[in-house]
């Protein structure tokens, strides 16, 4: 069942965070749905601009519609990840997405508000909710590259004005995370003092944490042992998710970790089975491993086991 993130956030706020997982293909979709249904968790499917153009945007829509039938117990939102205005309008008008993210965080404060407001007006007219971003994460995003050293944490003093003037429904905040597999060069971590101040400015308002893959060291070691060169990869400590949830984080974005599972499974499989050229045996292993990863991650997020409760709320 596709629902808006607004409904999911209402059920989760202050208690747990919903996993927002990016997908690009069939195997990810299958693993994602299975892992969430197995762990009885609501979830958010994220589709980036790159994912929409990887094959054809309609292919992903078709996959998700089919998965909704194959997994009738699943409760999820379909979300555009890091959209620009053009992508947002395309998704709003598609009639398929339940939420969009407008990412104008690289613009000035006023320009960010102006762009976000336009998208909010178009989205709300169709019952679609909008995530916006204030502050800048480190790491590489699709359309903007920000050096970690120049990453700008969200200024809590700007947060309320931004939300009031833009009309956004949730806010992605920069509190020390970054996209990709190389998040921290030293021993940096999440800036809970910034998050605490943001929540004081925006009590009860859903916050979003991007760049939240934990880049498991065992996964990295296995990839490197099977021919990868990911030395120094490092992520967020997912034991900190519960604390972030209490401070108002209701959506936690995870993409890189899924890519690491994919890379580990495929590298090991073809190393160990050099005679193989059938894509299905390894695809089956990946789907099972990704489902297991999702189910375990939902335990860290606190969303595991909440599905029946969420069902009562969204259908009430």
The residues binding ligand 13P (CB under 6 A) are 22, 81-82, 179-180, 210-213, 253-257
Tell me whether residue 236 or residue 307 sits nearer to ligand G3H (CB atom).
236
Tell me whether residue 101 or residue 265 sits nearer to Zn ion (CB atom).
101
Select from ligand G3H, Zn ion, ligand 13P, none the partner in contact with residue 213, using the beta carbon and a kind-dependent cut-off of 5 to 8 Å: ligand 13P
Q: Dihedral of CA 198/203/208/214: which sign?
A: positive
Sequence-ordered strand ranges (E) for 39-185: 43-48, 76-83, 99-102, 129-134, 139-140, 145-146, 170-173
Q: Does 145 bind ligand G3H (CB under 6 A)?
A: no
Whether 81 is a known active-site residue: answer yes
Helix (H, G, I), strand (E, B) or coil at 99: strand
Closest CA to 39 of 246, 305, 293: 305
- The helix-helix angle for 57-70 and 85-94 (nearest 10°) equals 40
Q: Does 210 bind Zn ion (CB under 5 A)?
A: yes
Q: For the segment 216-255, give every residue that binds Zn ion (CB under 5 A).
A: 253
Residue whose pair of structure tokens reads 């990709």 in the numeric block: 180
Rounded least distance, CB 51 to ligand G3H, Å: 5
Select from Zn ion, ligand G3H, ligand 13P, none the partner in contact with residue 254, using the beta carbon and a kind-dependent cut-off of 5 to 8 Å: ligand 13P
Rounded least distance, CB 146 to ligand 13P, Å: 13
Sequence-ordered strand ranges (E) for the chain: 18-22, 43-48, 76-83, 99-102, 129-134, 139-140, 145-146, 170-173, 207-209, 249-254
- In contact, 163 and 206? CB cutoff 8 Å: no
Q: Does 133 bind ligand G3H (CB under 6 A)?
A: no
Select from ligand G3H, ligand 13P, Zn ion, none the partner in contact with residue 50, using the beta carbon and a kind-dependent cut-off of 5 to 8 Å: ligand G3H
Burial per residue of 93-123, b for 16 or more beta-carbon CB atoms within 10 angstroms, e otherwise: eeebbbbbbbbbbeeeeeebbebbbbbbebb
d(CA 80, CA 106): 18
d(CA 49, CA 183): 22
Select from Zn ion, ligand 13P, ligand G3H, none the partner in contact with residue 37, using the beta carbon and a kind-dependent cut-off of 5 to 8 Å: none
Window contacting ligand G3H (CB under 6 A); options: 43-51, 104-112, 157-165, 199-207? 43-51
Q: How far is CA 158 from CA 190, 215, 283, in A?
A: 19, 31, 46
- In contact, 117 and 57? CB cutoff 8 Å: no
Nearest residue (beta carbon) to Zn ion: 210
Q: Does 52 bind Zn ion (CB under 5 A)?
A: no
Tell me whether residue 180 or residue 216 sits nearer to ligand 13P (CB atom).
180
Q: Does 50 bind ligand G3H (CB under 6 A)?
A: yes
Rounded least distance, CB 207 to Zn ion, Å: 14
Q: Does 142 bind ligand G3H (CB under 6 A)?
A: yes
Write down the catalytic residue from 38, 68, 73, 81. Answer: 81
Which one of residues 30, 45, 51, 304 is an interface residue with ligand G3H (CB under 6 A)?
51
Q: Which residues bind Zn ion (CB under 5 A)?
A: 210, 253
Q: Which residues bind ligand G3H (CB under 6 A)?
A: 22, 48, 50-51, 81-82, 141-142, 179, 255
């Amino acid at each position: 069942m596709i629902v808006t993130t607004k409904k999911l956030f209402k059920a989760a706020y202050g208690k747990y965070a919903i996993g927002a997982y990016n997908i690009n293909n069939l195997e990810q979709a299958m693993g994602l749905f299975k892992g969430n249904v197995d762990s009885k968790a609501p979830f958010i499917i994220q589709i980036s601009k790159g994912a929409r153009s990887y094959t054809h945007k309609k292919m992903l829509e078709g996959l998700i519609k089919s998965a909704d039938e194959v997994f009738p117990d699943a409760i999820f939102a379909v979300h555009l990840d890091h959209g620009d205005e053009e992508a947002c309008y395309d998704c709003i008008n598609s009639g398929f997405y339940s939420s969009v993210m407008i990412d104008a965080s690289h613009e000035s404060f006023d320009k960010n508000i102006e762009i976000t407001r336009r998208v909010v007006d178009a989205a709300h007219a169709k019952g679609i909710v909008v995530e916006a971003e204030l502050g800048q994460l480190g790491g590489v995003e699709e359309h903007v590259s920000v050096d970690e050293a120049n990453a700008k944490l969200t200024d809590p003093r700007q947060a309320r004005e931004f939300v009031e003037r833009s009309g956004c429904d949730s806010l992605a905040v920069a509190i020390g995370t970054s996209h990709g597999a190389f998040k921290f060069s030293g021993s940096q971590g999440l800036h809970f003092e910034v998050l605490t101040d943001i929540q004081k400015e925006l009590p009860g308002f859903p916050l979003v944490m991007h760049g939240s893959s934990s880049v498991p060291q065992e996964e990295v070691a296995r990839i490197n042992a099977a021919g990868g060169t990911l030395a120094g990869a490092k992520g967020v400590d997912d034991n900190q998710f519960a604390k972030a949830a209490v401070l108002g984080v209701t959506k936690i974005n995870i993409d890189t970790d899924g890519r690491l599972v994919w890379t580990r499974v495929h590298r090991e499989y073809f190393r160990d089975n050099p005679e193989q050229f059938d894509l299905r045996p390894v695809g089956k292993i990946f789907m099972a491993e990704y489902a297991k990863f999702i189910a375990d991650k939902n335990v860290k997020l606190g969303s595991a086991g909440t599905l029946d409760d969420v069902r009562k709320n969204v259908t009430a």
